[in-house]
A and B are shown apart, each in its own frame.
Chain A
């Protein structure tokens, strides 16, 4: 059974902006799938449709064998945004415990889980700190710990490392792969970065410009577990080129204008 099943999903925003069209996609358990595409191709919107945070205009969305709405009510997924979105007034530990409070876990069970999560993201010494006392990379690790704290089957990530510097980003990429291997969860990952998508994913879904369509899917057959040397393998570069070619092919929007390479890295405006 697929963790995520999208059939004929489309989205038109109020005001007539056509963001997504005819999206068919099935994501299997344990997969790491990246969504990549030019600015405004609706990949963040697609992620939110999977999470039932945005309603699709047409098509069906099935998450964990039920409707996306029911999956949200059952807390079947955790989500990580580009910014950590931590609550300033809560300590790191209490931020991680937030979803557990929603699930009405008792205090001791919460404390045990928070400790495990702090270990997972290697922040054991920072449980009593407040978010603003942490670096951007550390904050994002807290945000990941919070999203995984209640063992969701699915982890949705919306450009989680987009605001971080290159060094931190590469380190967190490694850490995310380690967490993914350990937790066994399924990850849907939105990114602007081709190398990041190829390095992390088992499959890369390339999307075309507005309205967003699936322009192609690249299977990433790089061996697991991946490490620093993965980025130096000839196959890695072949795959990066393959994703880039598909982006180019799909990068013609309705006005016939080609979306420039630079645009791919421009922060996508929130639709």
Chain B
């Protein structure tokens, strides 16, 4: 709370300073470039159009829509990422062969990949949100793959020796030792991926021309920025709250799932 108040004060102080002194660099400070934050919040409770519902209702609906896409993308991406991690863990050869390409996949800008996914999947008649989920998954899987690899290696060698003494199968060793040992690493990845999946979903909505989500709202309010900058700011606020919500959901799941000595909890 104190941090929110502090950032708020900092923002308003800069705005006041910039407007008084007449700053032109890095940009001119006025009501258009930096609207009052209380105006942004107030805008949420104004009608979105004449006699229409309040902006916050419109954005909440859009956020729920985007959240579904992001969730689907997160689940898909995390599952694929985990599976790739497990497969690569079991084969040094595959790891050396494929890991560079997996890393390369993330250097391709998502904005370049997104339209292709839309064309591929949309051409087969898949609904738009599926393409968006796939795009979100593209951003999600990578941190999960990398941390799965690292996490599976983190198992105590003596714990593995113990499993060997029980003549445990590779499968039992994976699920009873290696995966539990990797959970702190996995959750660190899930936290990164959860917010990335929201970003991926919003970006994915743009080439898919889906108007119902936050991406659509951003495109829409972008066009009205000069007359009503508060609407776009308000949309950004809701988008970031959605990202924070995803992060907190993962953090909560981690607290419920990961049982570790207090000093080992990240």
B-binding residues in A (CB < 8 A)? 51, 53, 72-75, 77-79, 81, 83, 85, 87-90, 98-99, 101-102, 130-132
Contacts and interface: CB of A to CB of B under 8 A. Distances in A.
A88 B161 CA distance: 16
The listed residue with most B CB atoms (<10 A of its CB), out of A79, A89, A132, is A89
Contacts of A78: 165
B166 A102 contact: yes
B255 interface: no
B165 A53 contact: yes
Contact of A73 (B156, B167, B180, B259): B167
A75 B167 contact: yes
Interface string B150-166: 00000010110110111
Q: Give me the 9 closest cross-chain CB pairs, A-B, nearest first.
A: A132-B261, A102-B166, A73-B167, A89-B180, A89-B259, A85-B158, A79-B165, A99-B166, A88-B260
20 contacts: A51-B165, A72-B165, A72-B167, A75-B166, A77-B165, A85-B156, A85-B159, A87-B159, A87-B177, A88-B261, A88-B264, A89-B180, A89-B259, A89-B260, A98-B176, A101-B172, A101-B176, A130-B261, A131-B261, A132-B261
A79 B162 contact: yes
Contacts of A89: 180, 183, 258-260
Interface string B227-265: 000000000000000000000000000000011111010
Interface in B113-164: 156, 158-159, 161-162, 164
Interface in B159-206: 159, 161-162, 164-168, 172, 176-177, 180, 183
Contacts of B162: 79, 81, 85
Interface of B: 156, 158-159, 161-162, 164-168, 172, 176-177, 180, 183, 258-262, 264
B262 A132 contact: yes
A102 B264 CA distance: 27
Given A51-B165, A81-B158, A89-B180, A102 B172 contact: yes
A37 B156 CA distance: 27
A87 B166 contact: no
Nearest to B156: A85
Contacts of A73: 167
A90 B180 CA distance: 10
Nearest to A84: B158
A75 B162 CA distance: 12
A99 B156 CA distance: 17
Contacts of B180: 87, 89
B230 to A, nearest CB: 48
A221 to B, nearest CB: 32
A51 B166 CA distance: 10
A131 B262 CA distance: 12
A40 B230 CA distance: 73
Nearest to A73: B167
Contacts of A98: 166, 176
The listed residue with most A CB atoms (<10 A of its CB), out of B161, B165, B176, is B165
A64 B186 CA distance: 42
A159 to B, nearest CB: 12
A38 B146 CA distance: 43
A102 B167 contact: yes
Contacts of A81: 158, 161-162
Contacts of B183: 89
Contacts of A51: 165
Nearest to B173: A102
A72 B260 CA distance: 30
Given A88-B264, A89-B180, 17 more contacts: A51-B165, A53-B161, A72-B165, A79-B162, A81-B161, A85-B159, A87-B176, A88-B261, A89-B258, A89-B259, A89-B260, A90-B259, A98-B176, A99-B166, A102-B168, A132-B260, A132-B261
Contacts of A131: 261
A145 to B, nearest CB: 14
B264 to A, nearest CB: 7
A80 to B, nearest CB: 10
Contacts of A88: 259-261, 264
B151 to A, nearest CB: 13
A90 B260 CA distance: 9
A53 B258 contact: no
A234 B159 CA distance: 42
Contacts of B261: 88, 130-132
A89 B176 CA distance: 10
Nearest to A82: B158
A175 to B, nearest CB: 21
A102 B261 CA distance: 25
Contacts of B166: 75, 98-99, 102
Contacts of B159: 85, 87
B181 to A, nearest CB: 8
Contacts of A85: 156, 158-159, 162
